[in-house]
Structures are given as C-alpha cells and as structure tokens.
A = this chain, B = another copy of it.
Amino acid sequence: MSKVIFQIEGGAPVVMEANAGDNLLELARRANVAIDAPCSGNGSCGKCRVKLLEGELEGGKTRHISEAEYAEGWRLSCACTVSGDVTVLVPDIASAYQSRMKTADLSTGKEVAIFEALQADLRQSGISFDNTFRAVELILDAPTLDDTMPDNERISWALREKLGVSHVEEPYEVMVKLAHTLRENSFHITAKGELQGDTFYLMDVTSPEDRDLIGCAIDIGTTTVSMVLVDLNSGKILAKGSSGNGQIRYGADVINRIIEQGKPGGRKKLQDAIVKETLTPIIANLCKSAGLSARSILRLCVGANTTMNHLFVGVDAESVRMEPYIPSFFSWDGLKAGDLHLPAHPLAKVLVAPNIGSYVGGDITAGAFASLIWDKDEFSLFIDLGTNGEIVFGNRDFLMSCACSAGPAFEGGDISCGMRATDGAIEACVIDKATMEPNIRVVGEPGQKPVGICGSGIIDIISELFRCGIINAKGLFVREGARVQRDHHGMGRYVIAFPAESATEREISINEVDIDNFIRAKGAIFSAVDILLQSVDMDVEAIDKVYVAGGIGSGINMKNAVNIGMFPDVDLEKFTYIGNSSLSGAYAMVLSDEANAKVEEVAKNMTYMELSTHPGYMDAFVAACFLPHTDAARFPSSKQEG
C-alpha cells in the first residue's frame, strides 16, 4: 500500500491509502477530494490538473500539459497512476470559480436596459411597482423635565401621527441604538421600516441624511450567482455583479451537492459555501461600488432552483433527491437575513421565489413570470438553459413545466476550452466551408484575443462544423485540414485559435468529447420540449413564441441552435433571448408587492411533470442525441450544405 496525500489549496490535506496502479482521479473521488474534471476523466478536457509536490506518479503527460508545465510538476490526474507514496497539490475549484467575481459597469446603460424594459412591460401587464418600505424623516421635540415621554413612545407617537397607523413595532435591533441615535442627531432622524396595514414595522433609525431603502435581487444558479442592488423607491439599479457559486467544490450538479450536504456537517458546509463564501463577498463588493451600507438592504429576493434554495436556507435537501422527492418547502415567507447572517439588515425579509417541484424551482417561476407568458393568449415556450434545463409551455390558461439535466455545457462547463460569456469568450463563429478557416467574434474591447469559448460560441462552432460537413451527425470529424487535428488516440478536434492567436498562448479548440457533451446537453433540452408538447397533445406548429433564458449570452444564434437540433424548428422570428430571467424576476419581486403576489399565482397555476419517471423520455433523449436529430424531417431548416 502507498500513501497519497492530497494537499488541497487553501484547505486541510486528505490522506488516502492506495495500491500501485490506482488512477489518481478515481482515488481523489473516493477520498471526496474535489478535482475539476468536466470530461469525467477521459483525458479530453485537460482540467483535472494537479501538481506533484513529493514522490512520483506514472503518466500524466498529455497534450494539455506543456513541457514547461510538466517540468514544474503539473500532471493530468485522470492520466496518472499511483506508484508509491506521493503528495500532490490540488487547486481549489471553488476559489477559482469565486475569483470570477465581476462587478458590472452600469455607466453605458446596457446592463440595466433589460430591467428597465421588464419594468415597462410588467406595468403594461398591470403590475404596479409599489412596495411598503418607507424612510420617514422625523423632527422630534427633545425631552424635558415636563415632557418625560420615553424614547420609544416618542418615536412611536411621531410615526403614528405621520403615517396614520395605529401601531408601531419596535424590534430589539432598533431599541438598542435608539437612545444614542436620537441624541447624536438632536432628535432629528430617519425612521426606516415597512408599512403593513395598520402597523409600521420599524427596522432602523438613522441620521436624517441616510434615507437609503435598498433591495437585493439574487439569482443563485448551480454554477453562477448573479445579483443586483436596487433602490426600493425609484426602482433604479444601483449595482450589478456576479460570481461563481462556491458550492462547486462539492459537486458540479445538484445531485452531488445533495449527497455532500447529507454527510456529517455537510449542510453547514454547503450553506457556508453559498452564503459566506459567495453571496457575502458579492454583496460587500456591490455595496462598496454603490457607496451603500449593507444595513440599508431591507428586502432580498432569491430566484433559485429547489436544491439551491434548500442549501441556501440550510434545510436538509436529502428528500429532494430521494423518492418520493418531497422538499421541505415550495413556498416560504419566514426567512430573515439575520437567520443566515447575510450582510444586510438582520430583519430584512428574504423572499424566496416559489418552487413547484423538486426540479422546477424559484428560478423558473420567477423567470416564467419575467417572460410574461402567463399574460398572453398565444402559446409560448420558455427555455431556461442552466446546469439544469427547465422548460415551461403554455399561456394565460395553463402552464406546464419540466426539468432535465443538461450539465454545465451552456455556461462553458464540460467543454475543454469552455468559459462564461465574459471578456475573451468566443461568442460567435462563422466557418468558411472551403478553407475551413473560422471567423470569430470575441467578447470585450476591439482587438481582444480569445481566451475560451462560451455557450453561444459553442453552438455556432458545432453548427458551422456540421454545416460545412467537417463533422457528421454523430459529431465525429469527417474532413481533414490544418485546423482539424487528431491526438494519438485518433480523437479529432477543431482548432479555433492556435497558440499564437489566443490570449493565453494556449490552443483553443473543440474536440469530439466536447461535441459529444454538448450534443447530450442539447439533446436533453430538445427531448424535454418534445415530451412536454406531447403531454399537452400539441406539436411545434402550435408554438407562437420561444423565450430563451440563461447565462448562455445574448450572442446566441437561434438559427444555429435550430440547425443543431437544440431548439424546435420554428420561424426564427418567434425566438427571443431574455437573459437571466431568474434575476429579472427576482428584481421585479424585490421591488413590487404585486409582482410577488403574481409569481405566487403563476407558481400555483404551473403543473410540474416529472421527466425521470416518464416512460417516453429516454427514447426521446436518445433520438435527440444527433445533429440535428435521428428524425431529420423534424428539422427541415437544418441541412448540411452539399
């Protein structure tokens, strides 16, 4: 037996006994050590790198490791076997994901346009943007020997007068600072709180200048977290940002995370990963960039899938995964920021957009709300492309929904050169059929060299490779050329950027495993649409509108997505990309009490269909795992150019 020590970056070492010949990645998995391996260990993605610190390993030298890197000790863990005692350094996936934290530049208006448009549309649909939060300026009489009213009665009396309420609730958090705040500001203060019927729920007392009433809308995705801070009075977006979900170290998908949270101390670990390690730094960052105190955040709203909701709240998610798939809650309005130690006012309510099933959560109810499909006569298809893909179909009369496991491919995961749609991402691509040379568009300033490929870029590349006859319907390379290369196993890849053309001086390419992963992801989406339409006895002709949501990026080319059989083959004019609709829905909910009520109503009227137990789903999925489909007649617009 040999001893293998996994020295996790920024963590405690994990020691495992191993036999000579044991695969290092397999061993890491048994030891519960998270190594980023989207290709599941077939050597294609090149992401499962570890660094040899002591001892030796067999193998581990692949095309993904340069000579220089190999000399430094870098090895691909899936390609190594144990041959004796060894210590390896494991990069921390979560910190890598977190380091992708990004604060949006609001100066151009581009980042906020989608929210402004949504607000206008919702108002059109009769949703008012009112809420009950108030910042009330009070100029009180200072007490004297003849006016000995205690502080709390003094402020309560003034608020009753000013707001016309009969009762003022005074929580502990206000009471402990009241005497000081009143005297420091010579009895001229701001009282912040929430008006509900006949009662004013006092939340804070501050200096007269501080009148901030801030709302925080959050989309907690399995892979990515996004957030906006809004002014609860004006609805204005004050800051916007995103980051990776720190839970990634406990698994790429919800199932692995549920398993992790079920282990001793797991719930706390998973909750800390999202609350302390992910949300807390983003909120701090956004508050700083907007010049706000986190204590001014008086309401939060979260759009997240059912598992993310449970892990965020710290509620056991085991029963989400196990038959009969019963979550602790769909809807719940008892959560406060202080319960989770979120950096916000401790009494701030945390609204969770309602889940409707174990795998259709608040991100979808919030998103479907933001798509406005519930207010239309025409039949709409809503497709959210996340780590899970969720589909909703219907109109003002009915809404059907289902979920499928697509994996992280749409956000650039599971793809060897994949990345999110940020600076350096190849977001669009056209290939010259004759020369096979690519013409790419890269996110960022003009002249930005490519770093990797985001979801919309992958769709384009695969579609173009297929159109140009470079790959066949199974996704295998069938033409040769300068840009089509093969490794020593014969696995083909298409080089979009040679090292000299890329920002990182490493090749950017897409290989057969990447394409296979992506075909499975798009197959999962299309077959879910297929089954959902079947279930209501309709077919693609019935679709009036298709709303595509998710982090895939606004660069998505619908024609190419249809071309590869990802979306149903309908008139391209029917497609609209609506971005992160979960965040948009949360934005509306945090600002508008009517939006809140409407999301609850949309959720109540939405029927959930469990695909995993559906008899036809597996066949439909297998049939969809081709370009464009085994039944090509279903995609008349898709053809390979002769």
Q: Could you tell me the distance in whole angstroms from the C-beta of A201 to the nearest C-beta in chain B?
A: 10
CB atoms of B175 and A334 under 8 A apart? yes
CB atoms of B179 and A143 under 8 A apart? no
Q: Which listed segment binds B: A41-49, A313-321, A463-471, A563-571?
A: A313-321
Q: Report how far A35 CA is from B59 CA in the complex, Å.
A: 74
A174, A313, A328 interface centre (most CB from chain B within 10 Å)? A328
A72 within 8 A of B: no
Q: Could you tell me the distance in whole angstroms from the C-beta of A149 to the nearest C-beta in chain B?
A: 8
CB atoms of A315 and B176 under 8 A apart? yes
- Given the interface pairs A150-B329, A334-B170, the reply to whether A315 lies near B178 with Cβ below 8 Å is yes
Which chain B residue shows the least CB distance to A143?
A: B326
- Residues 166-181 of chain A, each 1 if its beta carbon lies under 8 Å from chain B, else 0: 0001111011101110
Q: Could you tell me the distance in whole angstroms from the C-beta of A232 to the nearest C-beta in chain B?
A: 23
Q: Report how far A329 CA is from B328 CA in the complex, Å.
A: 40
CB atoms of A329 and B143 under 8 A apart? no
Q: Report how far A330 CA is from B329 CA in the complex, Å.
A: 40
- Given the interface pairs A313-B175, A315-B176, the reply to whether A151 lies near B326 with Cβ below 8 Å is yes
Q: Report how far A327 CA is from B175 CA in the complex, Å.
A: 11
CB atoms of A171 and B334 under 8 A apart? yes
CB atoms of B325 and A169 under 8 A apart? no
Among the listed B150, B171, B318, which residue makes an inter-chain contact with A326, where contact means beta carbons less than 8 Å apart? B150
Q: Report how far A603 CA is from B319 CA in the complex, Å.
A: 52
Among the listed B148, B170, B172, which residue makes an inter-chain contact with A339, where contact means beta carbons less than 8 Å apart? B172
**Interface residues of A, dominant DSSP:** loop
A132 within 8 A of B: no
Which chain B residues border A498 with CB–CB below 8 Å? Answer: none
A12 within 8 A of B: no
CB atoms of B180 and A329 under 8 A apart? no
Q: Report how far A447 CA is from B329 CA in the complex, Å.
A: 66
A448 within 8 A of B: no
CB atoms of B179 and A324 under 8 A apart? no
CB atoms of A144 and B324 under 8 A apart? yes
A398 within 8 A of B: no
Which chain B residue shows the least CB distance to A172?
A: B339
CB atoms of A334 and B150 under 8 A apart? no
Q: Report how far A147 CA is from B339 CA in the complex, Å.
A: 30
- Beta-carbon contacts under 8 Å, A153-176 to B: 153, 169-172, 174-176
Which chain B residue shows the least CB distance to A350?
A: B172
- Given the interface pairs A170-B334, A334-B170, the reply to whether A328 lies near B175 with Cβ below 8 Å is yes
Q: Report how far A631 CA is from B330 CA in the complex, Å.
A: 79
Which chain B residue shows the least CB distance to A355?
A: B150
- Residues 294-319 of chain A, each 1 if its beta carbon lies under 8 Å from chain B, else 0: 00000000000000000001111011
- Residues 326-362 of chain A, each 1 if its beta carbon lies under 8 Å from chain B, else 0: 1111111011100100000000000000000100000
Among the listed B149, B175, B179, B328, which residue makes an inter-chain contact with A152, where contact means beta carbons less than 8 Å apart? B328
Which chain B residues border A169 with CB–CB below 8 Å? Answer: 334
Which chain B residues border A151 with CB–CB below 8 Å? Answer: 319, 326-329
A323 within 8 A of B: yes
Which chain B residues border A330 with CB–CB below 8 Å? Answer: 150, 153
Which chain B residues border A331 with CB–CB below 8 Å? Answer: 153
- Beta-carbon contacts under 8 Å, A365-414 to B: none
Which chain B residues border A172 with CB–CB below 8 Å? Answer: 313, 334-336, 339
CB atoms of B316 and A179 under 8 A apart? yes
A536 within 8 A of B: no
CB atoms of A328 and B171 under 8 A apart? no
CB atoms of A145 and B339 under 8 A apart? no
Which chain B residues border A325 with CB–CB below 8 Å? Answer: 145, 148
Q: Report how far A334 CA is from B168 CA in the complex, Å.
A: 10
Q: Could you tell me the distance in whole angstroms from the C-beta of A446 to the nearest C-beta in chain B?
A: 50
Q: Report how far A170 CA is from B331 CA in the complex, Å.
A: 11
- Given the interface pairs A152-B329, A329-B175, the reply to whether A180 lies near B143 with Cβ below 8 Å is no
Which chain B residues border A332 with CB–CB below 8 Å? Answer: 152, 170, 175
Which chain B residues border A175 with CB–CB below 8 Å? Answer: 313, 315, 328-329, 332, 334-335
A171, A323, A326 interface centre (most CB from chain B within 10 Å)? A326
- Beta-carbon contacts under 8 Å, A525-584 to B: none
Which chain B residues border A183 with CB–CB below 8 Å? Answer: 319
Ordered by A's residue number, 7 sampled pairs between the chains whose C-beta atoms are within 8 Å are A149-B326, A151-B319, A170-B332, A172-B334, A172-B336, A175-B315, A179-B316
Interface residues of A (CB under 8 A from B): 143-145, 147-153, 169-172, 174-176, 178-180, 183, 313-316, 318-319, 323-332, 334-336, 339, 357, 613
4 shortest A-B CB distances, which residue pairs? A172-B339, A179-B316, A152-B329, A143-B326
Q: Given A148-B326, A152-B328, 15 other A-B contacts at CB below 8 A?
A: A148-B325, A149-B326, A150-B328, A152-B332, A170-B329, A170-B334, A171-B334, A172-B336, A172-B339, A175-B315, A175-B329, A175-B332, A176-B313, A179-B328, A183-B319
